[in-house]
């Protein structure tokens, strides 16, 4: 057993956003937490087993420099002991340019705030997607409400689908398999130019393509091109190449009946992933009040809370269909199946088809 220790890899314990709790969280022990994150960022078992001890900086320092260079954080003055005890970690305190201080010496840099950075940290298991969402979210929100677009639109079905289209465009980038799928950009929801209300979405996607290219160039050249594990921050599928539309089809139709049976297990996994993203964004961003009970106007990202919640409710219907299709099988142990299942199975399938047709009517 000991001889096989060198074959143990596991998942990479270090990640590019691990410095966020130390920088902005009020729920860490300032005396011990920095030491814990330093230990997390130290040499891993893989490094030790492969003779790479001490060959890289502590990853906590890499995370700090990465967040600063991406513009998510900025340095500020460090509180004295009395100020640190009174510091409330509210949006207002972090956004106060008259007295820019914090217990850690770091604070969110506008247009980002601690709610968005907390979503970035919560989604740490998906480094490329989480960093891209955090980087593009201020632009997406600003563009969605440009030209006096009212909030009622974004809680309508059309508004929900438009938001889901943009989110899927970032987090579900899978190449189109020839003969087995179609491109998301060719989906009638966005490709039909006769629907003028989607002109803004088409323009937004073009802008996002350019932002994604700039985002990747920035990551590849960051720290003089020496950023460790930078490949984990690059979104899959080259920007501009077609990406698969099966997930958006399922979400738009509220059902998986139009998805080929061979693809439904894969789509179920993608629906689950989309649900995780929506749940985390809602829990992190939908903060309307600070600890004093007054509106935290600095958290402008909360305006999409209702839209995100309704999008999450929408995909529960798709999940329900996927689960029902998985468990909707004949019981070969039942009395009706005695004497063999060949003829009975066909009878069962016909009866289930009739039943489903009645339910649809």
Domain ranges of the chain: 8-110, 120-345
Whether 211 shows a pLDDT value over 90: the answer reads yes
In Å, how far are 18, 35, 49, 77, 337 from 40, measured between CA atoms? 9, 9, 17, 26, 58
Chain position carrying tokens 């632009």 = 139
Q: Of 160 and 48, which is predicted with more confidence?
A: 160
Whether 204 shows a pLDDT value over 80: the answer reads yes
Query: CA 153 to CA 159: how far, in whole Å?
Result: 5
Closest by CA to 149, choosing from 194, 189, 197, is: 197
What per-residue confidence (pLDDT) applies to 329? 56
What per-residue confidence (pLDDT) applies to 233? 96
Q: Of 258 and 158, which is predicted with more confidence?
A: 158
What per-residue confidence (pLDDT) applies to 296? 47
Whether 68 shows a pLDDT value over 80: the answer reads yes
Kindly report which listed range (22-26, 143-147, 294-298, 324-328) carries the lowest average pLDDT score.
294-298
Whether 347 shows a pLDDT value over 90: the answer reads no
Whether 287 shows a pLDDT value over 70: the answer reads no
Rg (CA), the chain: 25
> What pTM was computed for the model?
0.82
**Burial tier of 278 (Cβ tally within 10 Å: 0-12, 13-18, 19+):** buried
pLDDT by residue (tens digit) across 128-186?
A: 999 999 999 999 998 888 765 667 888 899 999 999 999 999 999 999 988 777 899 99
Q: Tokens at residue 294, please?
A: 């007054």
**Burial tier of 60 (Cβ tally within 10 Å: 0-12, 13-18, 19+):** buried
Whether 41 shows a pLDDT value over 50: the answer reads yes
Q: Of 130 and 36, which is predicted with more confidence?
A: 130
What per-residue confidence (pLDDT) applies to 236? 94
Query: CA 221 to CA 234: how far, in whole Å?
Result: 12
pLDDT by residue (tens digit) across 89-103?
A: 877 788 777 778 898
pLDDT by residue (tens digit) across 111-129?
A: 898 889 999 999 999 999 9
What percentage of residues in the chain have a pLDDT greater than 70? 80
Question: CA triplet 182, 183, 184: central angle to 5 degrees?
Answer: 120
What per-residue confidence (pLDDT) applies to 196? 85
Chain position carrying tokens 């979405």 = 201
Q: Which of 51-65, 144-158, 234-248 has the highest mean pLDDT?
A: 234-248
Chain position carrying tokens 């399922």 = 250
Strands (E), 32-131: 73-75, 77-78, 101-102, 106-108
User: Who's near 201: CB < 8 A, 6+ residues apart?
Assistant: 162, 165, 166, 190
What per-residue confidence (pLDDT) applies to 332? 54
Q: Is the dihedral of CA 235, 236, 238, 243 positive or negative?
A: negative
- Whether 18 and 133 have beta carbons less than 8 Å apart is answered as no
Q: Of 32 and 57, which is predicted with more confidence?
A: 57
Whether 43 shows a pLDDT value over 60: the answer reads yes
What per-residue confidence (pLDDT) applies to 295? 47
What percentage of residues in the chain have a pLDDT greater than 90? 39
Whether 288 shows a pLDDT value over 90: the answer reads no
Query: Collapsing DSSP states into helix, strand and coil, what is residue 296?
Result: coil
Kindly report which listed range (26-40, 59-73, 102-116, 331-345) carries the lowest average pLDDT score.
331-345
What per-residue confidence (pLDDT) applies to 290? 53
Chain position carrying tokens 């599928």 = 237
Mean pLDDT of the chain: 82
Q: Tokens at residue 37, please?
A: 């994150």
């Amino acid at each position: 057993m000991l001889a096989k220790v060198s074959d143990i890899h596991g998942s990479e314990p270090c990640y590019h956003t691990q410095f966020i709790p130390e920088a902005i969280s009020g729920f860490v022990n300032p005396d011990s937490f920095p030491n814990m994150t330093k230990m997390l960022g130290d040499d891993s078992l893989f490094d030790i087993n492969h003779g790479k001890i001490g060959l890289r900086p502590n990853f906590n320092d890499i995370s700090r420099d990465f967040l600063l260079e991406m513009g998510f954080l900025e340095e500020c003055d460090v509180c004295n002991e009395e100020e640190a005890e009174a510091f409330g970690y509210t949006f207002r305190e972090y956004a106060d340019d008259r007295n820019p201080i914090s217990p850690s010496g770091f604070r969110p840099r506008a247009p980002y705030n601690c709610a968005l950075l907390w979503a970035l940290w919560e989604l740490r298991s998906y480094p490329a997607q989480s960093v891209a969402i955090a980087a593009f979210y201020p632009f997406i929100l600003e563009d969605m409400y440009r030209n006096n677009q009212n909030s009622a639109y974004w809680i309508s079905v059309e508004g929900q689908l438009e938001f889901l289209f943009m989110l899927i465009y970032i987090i579900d980038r899978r190449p189109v398999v020839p003969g087995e799928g179609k491109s998301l950009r060719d989906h009638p929801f966005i490709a039909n130019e006769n629907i003028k209300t989607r002109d803004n979405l088409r323009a937004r996607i073009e802008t996002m393509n350019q932002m994604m290219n700039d985002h990747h160039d920035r990551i590849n050249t960051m720290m003089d091109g020496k950023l460790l594990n930078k490949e984990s921050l690059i979104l899959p599928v080259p920007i501009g190449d077609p990406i698969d539309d099966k997930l958006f089809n399922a979400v738009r139709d509220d059902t998986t009946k139009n998805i080929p049976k061979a693809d439904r297990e894969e789509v179920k996994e993608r629906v689950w992933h989309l649900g995780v993203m929506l749940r985390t964004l809602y829990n992190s961003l939908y903060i309307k009040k600070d600890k004093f009970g007054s509106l935290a106007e600095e958290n402008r990202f909360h305006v999409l809370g209702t839209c995100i919640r309704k999008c999450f409710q929408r995909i529960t219907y798709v999940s329900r269909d996927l689960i029902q299709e998985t468990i909707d099988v004949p019981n070969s142990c039942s009395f009706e199946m005695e004497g063999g299942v060949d003829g009975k199975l066909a009878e069962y399938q016909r009866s289930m088809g009739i039943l489903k047709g009645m339910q649809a009517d």
